[in-house]
Amino acid sequence: MDIVRRSRYLDRLIAFQDTDLIKIVTGIRRCGKSTLLDMMREHLAQQGVPAERLLTFKMESLEYAGVTDYLTFYRMVRERVDGVDRPYLFFDELQNVEGWEKAVNSLRVDLPCDIYVTGSNAFLLSSELATLISGRYIEIKMQPLTFGEYLDFRSIDAVVAEGLGERVELVSKTGDRLNSNTVLEQYITYGGMPFLAHDEPRREPCRDYTRSLYQTIVARDILSRATRRGRGAITKRDVLERLCAYLADNISNQTSVNKIVGTLNESAGGKTNASTVSAYIDALEETYLFAKVKRYDVKGRELLKTGGNYYIADTGIRSYLDGYRGSDSGRMLENVIYNQLVFEGYEVFCGHLRAGEIDFVAIGEGSDRKYIQVTERIDAEATRERELRPLKLNMLGKIPDSYEKILIVKDGDHPTDIDGIRIVGAVDFLLRNKIAHG
């Protein structure tokens, strides 16, 4: 299986090559972190760095089963690098070594070396680490494939359709024109995990692979790690899985801990409380499975302390948890748009107005700010007015005219502009930068 270059991440690693900064790649399991280190090794080899200077430590291998504390880890690495001139050190899935940051910081100080680290848990960047090596590391947050990357993996080209303005067409490697919405639906349904993206998806192998991934996150990354860290609140697998199912079922819906507690207790007749649910949610966020998006008061220009929406890292996992019923395709698309905006570097919030909600307020650099609504289609006048209404509130002085307002539509015909609001197809929006950059 050929390795497809993921330029956004690799270019960032290369930009910090041979600096004193520790390069830390974080993200959900199997999103491509280990492969990214392989790409960096290949880049260095192509630059003429000899193989003996490129040392990789895959910490989940049985070879390192006895390496669980930072002193043992440090001594093991020093033995391996003995006699190696200016080594490049690649540490894959390092979070299971307690106190690893002390060893890595010491290696940085003691040796003329260049260090790269991956981890599948946000606890990797705990407050202890931030204090110990503050200002001495750069974090690169990796995600599953975006739609544009997914096309690269499947060898599908995106081209601007002649005579159709910004509309994009998809062309297979054999030159056949593809139905763009069909390919997008495959991506939304089966997700963007690299292992699954090289071929046209089939439900059974996708389901089996996603089940394995999900069980690994639940059993190894959350429950086992919670036991090792002495987090007594996170011990019940059934509670954790019911919470996963709830959050997956409610992606993009505004929720709160108290609401979740009420729903879980009602459905199972249990006695789950707010502190327990908060601990479980923290664990899910630490494994990058879910992300909480805070609410932003558009008029007051401030974050709200209550409520928020949750989005899942990969919609393929959501489909698996939902039993591939194909439900809530509009909210699944909204999840994909959220992940795309994060990939592009935006800080993303859910917009709050007294007169309505805006799906996303995406804040970029400088004056780059986008107000975005996402919907399946706007054929019906009532639907069109409902989706446009929050974006039209600039007439009331609540949304400055200088900020871009976009309505993203998945299916159906639509104009390209209504009262200064851009109307854009989902495929066109997701691929706009890919087309722009060739």
pLDDT digits (tens, 9 = 90+) for 368-388: 999 999 999 998 888 899 989
DSSP one-letter code for 217:
I
The answer to whether residue 157 scores a pLDDT higher than 80 is yes
Residue 74's CB is within 10 A of a number of other CB atoms, namely 21
Q: Residue 355's pLDDT is what?
A: 72
The answer to whether residue 361 scores a pLDDT higher than 90 is yes
With CA atoms as reference, report the closest residue to 350 among 342, 341, 360: 360
Q: Per residue in 257-268, pLDDT tens?
A: 999 999 888 876
The answer to whether residue 435 scores a pLDDT higher than 80 is no
Q: How many residues does the chain have?
A: 438
Fold of 203-436: Arc Repressor Mutant, subunit A (1.10.10)
The answer to whether residue 42 scores a pLDDT higher than 70 is yes
Q: Residue 401's pLDDT is what?
A: 72
Q: Would you say the CATH fold of 203-436 matches that of 7-141? A: no
DSSP one-letter code for 411:
S
Contact 101, 129 (CB under 8 A): yes
Assign 129 a pLDDT band (cuts: 50, 70, 90): low
The answer to whether residue 278 scores a pLDDT higher than 70 is yes
Taken in order 203, 204, 207, 212, the sign of the CA dihedral is negative
Contact 218, 287 (CB under 8 A): no
Residue 353: phi and psi, rounded to 5, are -135, 150
First to last CA, the chain: 24
> Facing residues of 315 across strands?
none
Question: Residue holding tokens 């981890």?
Answer: 119
Q: What burial class does residue 167 get, using C-beta atoms within 10 Å of its C-beta: 0-12 exposed, 13-18 middle, 19+ buried?
A: middle
Give the mean pLDDT of the chain: 89
With CA atoms as reference, report the closest residue to 298 among 252, 348, 346, 351: 351
Taken in order 71, 72, 73, 75, the sign of the CA dihedral is positive
R_g (Cα) of the chain, nearest Å: 23
Contact 286, 231 (CB under 8 A): no
Q: Per residue in 294-333, pLDDT tens?
A: 998 887 777 877 788 999 999 999 999 999 988 788 999 9
Strand bridging mode 302-303 / 177-178? unpaired
The answer to whether residue 189 scores a pLDDT higher than 70 is yes
Q: Per residue in 208-229, pLDDT tens?
A: 999 999 999 998 888 877 665 6
Q: Residue 323's pLDDT is what?
A: 93
The answer to whether residue 408 scores a pLDDT higher than 90 is yes
Boundaries of every domain in the chain:
7-141, 203-436
What is the three-state SS of 100-162?
A: HHHHHHHHHHHCCCEEEEEECCHHHHCHHHHHHCCCCEEEEECCCCCHHHHHHHCCCEEEECC
With CA atoms as reference, report the closest residue to 414 among 429, 432, 436, 431: 429
The domain made up of 7-141 is a member of CATH 3.40.50.300:
yes
Structure tokens at 180: 């763009």
pTM to 2 decimal places: 0.93
Measured in whole angstroms, how far is the alpha carbon of residue 35 from the centre of its chain? Answer: 16
With CA atoms as reference, report the closest residue to 378 among 416, 348, 324, 420: 416
